[in-house]
Amino acid sequence: GEYVREVWQVRMTTFNLAGPRYLIAVLALPFTSLACLAQQPPAPHDSFPGANRMAAHHVRLQGSERPEFHWNGIRGMQSRCVEGLRIPVELPPPDTVLQRLTTDVYYTETHLIEFEARTSTFISSQCRLEVETHRMIKVTHPYGVCNLDPARRRARGQCAASYTGRPLRINNPAVLGQAGLRRLGNDGTLGCTQYQWDVLGNQMTVCIQTTTESWRSLSARGSGAFEGLWVALRVQNTAASGEILVETRATSVERNIRVSRDLLDIAGTQGYEIREVGPPPR
């Protein structure tokens, strides 16, 4: 039969534009049909418990990470297996996305909640073609960030339940490297405005849907032109390689939906072991 191994892992920091992290795994599973990956899971709010509802916007972003890098890596591993170890191993079809990203983002009055799934297709050190899915949850609020590891049921950061009931709104920070920001125009398909600027030597392009409901903005990531729903993201290496580092695009945008208020306090309502970082809530 065919199997999918799901490895749940928290990402403890925001992703590094200068150098995304890569996975090295030693597994012994047969190749999983890529058709399984096409089955889209329901959005978290469709299955998350909690009857007390609140208003939110929801965006699902899907895309890929560093296609050239991962294809070079999987070809190199195939060569090592075939030529060095004399173990035959097939490459996946050439149109396979080796690092597939799916992120469900929720914008509420005070919180930004992100569910991320990173599905990797690779050749393991045992010369088997395998697929893994790593997941993380991150809750950003006016008093900090809570990172959650669903596999170990652990949460780290500003995660205490007493944070969730506070009325203070997020204080919009400045965006790193906002100098040199250029407006590129509108994307008619997604209905958003494109902006481009350089961040740490990489060219970053985002497309943002603005909203008159200013409190429902992605204010945890920036202010000014960056307020709104981020519905496309592209990061390209500005060095000679010109490699695409990350590219994601909205496949679903829902405004003014009703979601469980438990999303604000996943660690508390789901019984996570909480490790508070920083001063205790007052």
Return the pLDDT at 19.
38
Taking a C-beta distance cutoff of 8 angstroms, is the pair 35, 207 a contact? Answer: no
Which residues of the chain are modeled with pLDDT < 70?
A: 1-39, 164-179, 214-225, 240, 279-282
Which residues are CB-neighbours of 165 under 8 A, at least 6 positions away? none
* 3-state class (DSSP) for residue 280: coil
Return the pLDDT at 279.
64
Return the pLDDT at 41.
78
Measured in degrees and rounded to the nearest 5, phi and psi for residue 119 equal -100, 125
Return the pLDDT at 222.
56
Return the pLDDT at 7.
32
Return the pLDDT at 49.
82
- Is the pTM higher than 0.85? The answer reads no
Write the DSSP string, 84-127: IS----PPPPTT--SEEEEEEEEE-SS-EEEEEEEEEEEE-TTS
Q: Which two tokens mark 68? A: 């050239």
**How far is it, in rounded angstroms, from Cα 152 to Cα 145?**
18
**How far is it, in rounded angstroms, from Cα 78 to Cα 84?**
10
Q: Angle 184-189-195 (CA atoms, 0-180°, nearest 5)? A: 20
